């Protein structure tokens, strides 16, 4: 039996105006890249990579990564 680890890697910024508190639709294409925080993005990227390394340390047989196309 192969046991894999899979998780989404969303951009999580509760300070962004499209986070759901403004009444705007939560659709990826509605969010402007002006609201992207590169420091937060780098921190999240490193966190998600650390999660994958931890899953390997815990003995998972495989890692599954998703790919989304938003155009």
Instruction: Give which of 70, 57, 61 is closest to 6, Cα–Cα.
Output: 61
- In this predicted model, what pLDDT tens digit does every residue of 31-46 receive, in sequence order? 667 778 899 889 989 9
Pairwise pLDDT comparison (31 vs 20), residue with the higher score: 31
Instruction: Give which of 46, 38, 35 is closest to 9, Cα–Cα.
Output: 46
- Strand residue runs (E) in 30-70: 62-64
| pLDDT over 70 (residue 28) | no
| pLDDT over 90 (residue 62) | yes
Q: Poorest-confidence range of 3-7, 11-15, 58-62?
A: 11-15
Instruction: Give which of 17, 43, 15 is closest to 31, Cα–Cα.
Output: 17
pLDDT value of residue 41 = 86
pLDDT value of residue 55 = 94
55 and 38 Cβ atoms separated by less than 8 Å: no
């Amino acid at each position: 039996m192969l046991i894999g680890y899979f998780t989404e890697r969303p951009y999580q910024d509760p300070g962004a105006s499209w986070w759901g508190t403004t009444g705007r639709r939560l659709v990826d294409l509605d969010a402007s890249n002006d609201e992207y925080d590169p420091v937060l993005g780098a921190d999240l990227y490193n966190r998600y990579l650390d999660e994958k390394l931890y899953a390997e340390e815990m003995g998972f047989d495989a890692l599954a990564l998703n790919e989304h196309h938003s155009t």
